Every structure is written in C-alpha cells, then in structure tokens.
Homo-oligomer: A and B are copies of this chain.
Amino acid sequence: MTYCVGLKTHEGLVFMSDTRTNAGVDNISVFRKMHCWQKEDERVLVLLSAGNLATTQAVVSLLEERTKAPDERTPSMLETPSMYQAARLVGDTVKEVIRQSAPAGQSADAFGASFILGGQICGMEPRLFMIYPEGNFIEASADTPFFQIGETKYGKPILVRAFDTAMSFEETVKLLLVSFDSTLRSNLSVAPPIDLLYYERDSFRIGYEKRIEAEDPYMRTISEGWSQALKSAFKSLPDFTR
C-alpha cells in the first residue's frame, strides 16, 4: 500500500507521501513516490504515485524520457501548455503502460496505479488533479480541495474535519502528519520516511522539501501529542446518560 495526499491551500500546494512498497508483509522496500519537474520561473509539477510499483516507475520513466529527449515525443512534462494537458499526458502514459503490461485476456487490475498531480505553469492558476488507473482524471475544487491515494481511509476523518484552505503551510504540515500518523498506526504497508514538498503559489520554484524520518522529533511530538490531545478532546464531551 501507500499513502499520499495533495492539498490546495490559498498559499499554494502541499504534498506528502510515504515511502513503503511491499509485495507481501515479508517483502518491503523504500521507494520515493514523489516526483518533481521544474523549469525555474516557469513551472513546477509534482506527481505522487500509488499502486503497482512497476507501473508507477514505468510511467515516471516515460515522462522523464520525454522530458529529456524533446525531439522524441511532445509535449513533455516541461512543455505542456497547461496543467490540464500535463494531467492528460500522465493519464495517457498510464493507459499506455497498463496496456503494455496486461496483454489481451489478462486482468489489468493487478497493474493498476493512481496519481496526484499538482503544480502551476506561469500565467495560470495552481491546479491539483487526481488521475485514475483508467487514465481519466478529476480536478480539486473549493468543495474538495485535497486528494488522497492509496490507504486513504484511516487518515481521512481528520482531513475532512480540520482542513481549511486558509491554513498556513505550517498548520497544513501538522494536519498532514496527524493524518499520516493515524494511517501508520493502522496499516503496516504505509511507513516512514515521509516526503514533504511545498509549492508556494506564483513562486515557480519548489518552496520547501524535507524527508521526515521515523525518529524526527516533530513527528514524534505530533504522534504522542495527538494521542494525548485526542484523549482530552474525548474527555471534554459529555458522557452518555441512560
């Protein structure tokens, strides 16, 4: 499994992803699930991936190759005229990879992968998309300003209840770490280190990037503090009366 979240705030875009991949509980590895394309002062694109690792790596490799050999196929991630076209490019690449992986008669389910793509291209607004294994995609809106992929359920209630697009980057990271901590505690196939990336709107460069390790002091503060805070919050509610 995997857990990745992309959020759109008034200030910009925040991305977080775990790094655990597994083929059974007895076969785990660390792989980065966050990929970035940047042309300074012109565009920043961030892609988070979940699902079959062979598929996600193939998609990223193809997107990378297109970036590096511009005469080969256009547009590349560094050349798409809009975020919408970049999402289409990712979707088309997913379809291409899955078609190649699953020849006729074989189910494509095992090769499935989903993606969150966010970023901004000069002259346009920051945008955030979720791309399905079928290659089609949806865009975040004011009503639904974030996307999750992978093991989404454990960490969703706190996002639904506490996220607000007016949050600062610092508060958003706190919220994401609470959401990740809930997930880490319940699903062994989601694990640190956790990658964090911040893109500040209209900056056209990566604003902040960090790999948060399991023993990171802030991560531990959040994890322990949240257990305590939850218990206090729970105590503050009135008990049931018969």
- Residues of chain A touching chain B, judged by Cβ–Cβ distance below 8 Å, are 153-154, 156-158, 160-162, 168-171, 173-175, 177-178, 182, 185-186, 208, 218, 221-222, 225-227, 229-234, 236-242
Contacts and interface: CB of A to CB of B under 8 A. Distances in A.
A233 to B, nearest CB: 4
A182 B162 contact: no
Contacts of A231: 161-162
A32 B104 CA distance: 45
Contacts of A232: 233, 236
A222 B242 contact: no
Chain A at the B interface: SS class: helix
A233 B234 CA distance: 10
B154 A157 contact: yes
Nearest to A171: B239
A151 to B, nearest CB: 8
A220 to B, nearest CB: 12
Given A157-B185, A185-B160, A229 B233 contact: yes
Nearest to A226: B237
Contact of A218 (B173, B234, B240): B240
B227 A230 contact: no
B160 A240 contact: no
User: Lowest 3 A-B CB distances belong to which pairs?
Assistant: A153-B153, A229-B233, A173-B240
A50 B185 CA distance: 25
Nearest to A155: B157
Contacts of A182: 157
Contacts of A178: 234, 237
Contact of A153 (B154, B169, B174, B227): B154
Nearest to A231: B162
A234 B162 contact: yes
Contact of A237 (B153, B222, B240): B222
A242 B208 CA distance: 8
